[in-house]
Amino acid sequence: MALIYTDDEADERLDDFRDLTTADRRPDRPGGRGLVIAEGTVVVRRLLASPYPVRALLGVERRLRELEGDLAGLAVPAYVTSADVMARVVGFHLNRGVLAVADRAPRSTPEQVLEGARVVAVLEGVGDHENLGALFRNAAALGVDGVLLGPGCADPLYRRSVRVSMGNVLRVPFAPLPDWPAGLDLLRSGGFRVAALTPRPDAVDLCELSGPAEAEGDRVALLFGSEGHGLSDGALAAADLAVRIPMAGGVDSLNVATAAAVAFYEMGRRG
Amino acid sequence: MALIYTDDEADERLDDFRDLTTADRRPDRPGGRGLVIAEGTVVVRRLLASPYPVRALLGVERRLRELEGDLAGLAVPAYVTSADVMARVVGFHLNRGVLAVADRAPRSTPEQVLEGARVVAVLEGVGDHENLGALFRNAAALGVDGVLLGPGCADPLYRRSVRVSMGNVLRVPFAPLPDWPAGLDLLRSGGFRVAALTPRPDAVDLCELSGPAEAEGDRVALLFGSEGHGLSDGALAAADLAVRIPMAGGVDSLNVATAAAVAFYEMGRRG
C-alpha cells in the first residue's frame, strides 16, 4: 500500500468521494452512480474482504495506518488528507475518518443465495434504509444465511444501509426475488417452509417454528413485511404458515429489524 | 375540550413549546426545564393516559380533532395553529402535527418499580437516548414490568427517548438505582435472580434462563451494559450469573435495544 497525500479539495482523484449526501449518489435514483461507500475502519475492512471491487480509500493518516494490514498487496489508491479537506470533499464532517468506495459486483440470483442456506429472510416493502441495514446486522449476528428482497425494499448497498448494518450487507448474501409473491415457490421447491411473521391473532406462536416436532435439517424462510403495513394479503396467502411474536396487550408491534432479530434468535435455538 | 386558536408565533401561551431543539430543553443539562414532550397522536395519547400532569397541547386542527375523545373532560388548553406557525415556534418542521407538554411526576423508587414485577431490566451506561427509547419500546411490547437505571444512563423522559419509545417510557415504570453496583442487592433480597447479559464466552446460553428447571414464579432481573463497553467488572461480579446470546462468528454484538428484545422474548417463553 502506498499512501498518496493531497490537500487539494478539488483534486479530481477524489471525485468518487464528492458530495456524498446529494441525491445522485443514491444508486436507486435516476443518475445515481451506484458506488458502494463504506465509512469507518470496521466497515471499510468488511468492504475490502467483500467481492466488491474497491476503487479507492480516502482518510486521515491515522485511520489509513490502522488499515495497512488489510491493504497489504492490494493495488488500491489510498488518499491521505486532513479532516477539514475530507469534510469539504464529502460535504459533511465525518467522525469516522476513513471512507472506501467500490464498484458494484454482479447481482446474486435467488438460487445462489439459497444454495446451502438453512434459514433465510424474505422481505416485502422494507423501504427504510436504516431498518434494512439493522436487519442485515441482526441477520449476520444471529446466523441467518441470506436475504431475498421482494417488492418495495430499499437498496442494501445505499450508504446509510451499509453504515447501519455495520458492513454486514457486504457479507450476508442477498438477491431480489422477482415475480412476487409467486416467486416464493422457488423457496418451497427448495424444501423451505415459508413462515410469515404477522401480528394476526390466528397466527401460531413463533416458538412452534423451533419445536421438537421439527426436523433437524429443516429449511425455513422467514417472511417480513413493512413496519407500517405488514405483509400484503398475497404474501400471507403464499406462505405455508403464519407465526407471531407474543406481545403484551395494547402495544405497537416491534420495529421490523427487532422483530426479525427475535425470529432469527428463535431459529438459532434449533441448533 | 375547547380549542384555542392562535396565529401569533410570539404568543406567550406557547412558550412551553418554544425552541425544542435547544440544549436548555434537555432536563439533564444545567438550566434544562425538564418538561416532558410528546410528539404525534399516538404518543400524545400515551402522555394523556400517564401520571404526568399535562400542561398544554399545540397542533394543527386535524390532529387535535383526532384527540377530542382523549381530551374530553380534561382542563388542558389545546392551542390550534398552522403547520407554519408551529414550525416557527418549535424551531423545526414537525411531521406529526401535534405536541403535548407535561410536568414531571415525582420519581418512582426502585421498590415501587419492583413491586409485583416478574421481569425487570437493569441498565448500566446506556447513554444514548435513542437506544434507551428503543429498549423501552421493546420492554413494553414483550411484557417487561419495569426498568432500573444504573449510572451513565440517558434520561428516558428526554424528547428523543420519548419519541423513539413510541411513548412507552410513559407506561413502563422506571427508577434510578443508586449505590452501584451494591444496590443490586435490593433485587436479590426481593427474590430476583440477577442475570448479566455479556458476550463473554464463559457465560451460559440465554435459553438456560427459561429452561424447564426454572420455577414458574421465578423473578428475573436482566442486566445490560452499554453497546460500546458492555457491563463493568463490578456489575458482572455483582450478578448471580452471566448469560449470552449465541452469535455467529466474527460479528459485532447486537445493538443493546435489540439484544434486550431477544432476552425479553426469551423470558416471555416461560409463560
Could you report the per-residue pLDDT of B37-46, keeping only the tens digit for each?
999 999 999 9
User: Can you say how many angstroms the Cα of residue B233 is from the centroid of all Cα atoms in its chain?
Assistant: 25
Dihedral, CA atoms, B130, B252, A222, B138, nearest 10 degrees? -30
B232-265 pLDDT per residue, tens = 999 999 999 999 999 987 666 899 999 999 999 9
Q: Is the CB of B269 inside 8 Å of chain A's CB atoms?
A: yes
Helix (H, G, I), strand (E, B) or coil at B97: coil
- Band of the pLDDT at B30, cuts 50, 70, 90? very low
Contacts of B143 in chain A (CB under 8 A): 246-248
Report the gap between the CA of A130 and the closest CA in chain B (Å): 13
- Band of the pLDDT at B156, cuts 50, 70, 90? very high
Q: How far apart are CA A63 and CA A99, in angstroms?
A: 10
Asked if B269's CB is within 8 angstroms of A42's CB, the reply is no
Cβ neighbours for A133, distance < 8 A, ≥ 6 positions apart: A156, A160, A161, A162, A163, A164, A165, A169
Give me the pLDDT at residue A20, please. Answer: 85
| Domain B3-102 and domain B110-268 have a common topology | no
User: Is pLDDT at B23 greater than 70 in this prediction?
Assistant: no
Q: What grid cell was written down for A182?
A: 409467486
Give me the pLDDT at residue A26, please. Answer: 56
> What letters, b where the CB count within 10 A reaches 16 and e where it falls short, cover A165-178?
bbbbbbbbbbbbbe
Asked if B141's CB is within 8 angstroms of A248's CB, the reply is yes
Residues of chain A with pLDDT under 70: 1, 23-33, 211-217, 250-252, 270-271
Residue B246's H or E segment, with its range, is none
Q: Is the CB of A137 inside 8 Å of chain B's CB atoms?
A: yes
Q: What grid cell was written down for A116?
A: 446451502
B95-137 pLDDT per residue, tens = 889 999 999 888 899 999 999 999 999 999 999 999 999 999 9
Does residue A129 contact residue A160 with C-beta atoms inside 8 Å?
yes
Asked if B252's CB is within 8 angstroms of A142's CB, the reply is no
What is the DSSP-derived secondary structure letter of residue A226?
B
Q: Is residue B106 classed exposed, middle or buried when 0-12, 13-18 and 19+ CB atoms within 10 A define those classes?
A: exposed
Helix (H, G, I), strand (E, B) or coil at B162: helix
- The sign of the torsion formed by the CA atoms of B249, B251, B256, B262 equals negative
Q: Which residue has the higher pLDDT, B104 or B145?
A: B145
Contacts of B256 in chain A (CB under 8 A): none
Residue B128's H or E segment, with its range, is none
The one-letter amino acid at B21: T
Q: Is the peptide bond before A181 cis (omega within 30 degrees of 0)?
A: yes
Q: How far apart are CA B132 and CA A146, in angstroms?
A: 29
CA dist A3 to A49, A52, A57, A238, Å? 20, 21, 10, 54
Could you state, in order of their start, the residue ranges of all structural domains in chain B?
3-102, 110-268
Q: How far apart are CA B129 and CA B121, in angstroms?
A: 16
Give me the pLDDT at residue B206, please. Answer: 93
Cβ neighbours for B5, distance < 8 A, ≥ 6 positions apart: B79, B80, B81
Q: Is the CB of B49 inside 8 Å of chain A's CB atoms?
A: no
CA dist A270 to A264, B34, B231, Å? 11, 47, 28
Q: How many beta-carbon pairs under 8 angstroms link A with B?
A: 75
Q: What grid cell was written down for B134?
A: 428503543
- Which CATH fold would you assign to the domain A3-102? 60s Ribosomal Protein L30; Chain: A; (3.30.1330)
Give the number of other CB atoms < 10 A from CB of residue A180.
Answer: 18
In chain B, what percentage of residues exceed pLDDT 90?
75
Of A42, A134, A140, the CB nearest to B248: A140
The stretches of A58-193 forming alpha helices (DSSP H) are 61-66, 68-71, 83-90, 110-114, 129-141, 159-164, 185-189
Give me the pLDDT at residue A154, please. Answer: 93
Cβ neighbours for A223, distance < 8 A, ≥ 6 positions apart: A121, A122, A123, A124, A184, A194, A195, A196, A197, A231, A235, A239
B195-243 pLDDT per residue, tens = 999 998 899 999 888 765 455 568 999 999 987 789 999 999 999 999 9
Helix B256-268 with B129-141: angle, nearest 10 deg: 10
Q: How far apart are CA B168 and CA A254, in angstroms?
A: 12
Strand pairing class (B98-102; A192-197)? unpaired
Grid cell 390466528 is found at A202
Asked if A252's CB is within 8 angstroms of B166's CB, the reply is yes
- Which CATH fold would you assign to the domain A110-268? Alpha/beta knot (3.40.1280)
CA atoms within 13 A on the CB side of A42: 13
Strand pairing class (B174-176; B219-224)? unpaired
Q: How far apart are CA B42 and CA B137, in angstroms?
A: 13
Give me the pLDDT at residue A271, please. Answer: 55
CA atoms within 13 A on the CB side of B214: 19
Give me the pLDDT at residue A30, please. Answer: 46
Contacts of B246 in chain A (CB under 8 A): 142-143, 268
Q: Phi and psi dihedrals of B61, rounded to 5?
A: -60, -40
Q: How far apart are CA A24 and CA A261, in angstroms?
A: 32
Contacts of B251 in chain A (CB under 8 A): 140-141, 168
Q: How far apart are CA A157 and CA A162, in angstroms?
A: 6
Long-range pairs, A5-10, Cβ under 8 A, ≥24: A5/A79, A5/A80, A5/A81, A6/A79, A6/A80, A6/A81, A6/A85, A7/A81, A7/A82, A7/A85, A8/A85, A9/A85, A9/A88, A9/A89
* Predicted ipTM of the assembly: 0.91
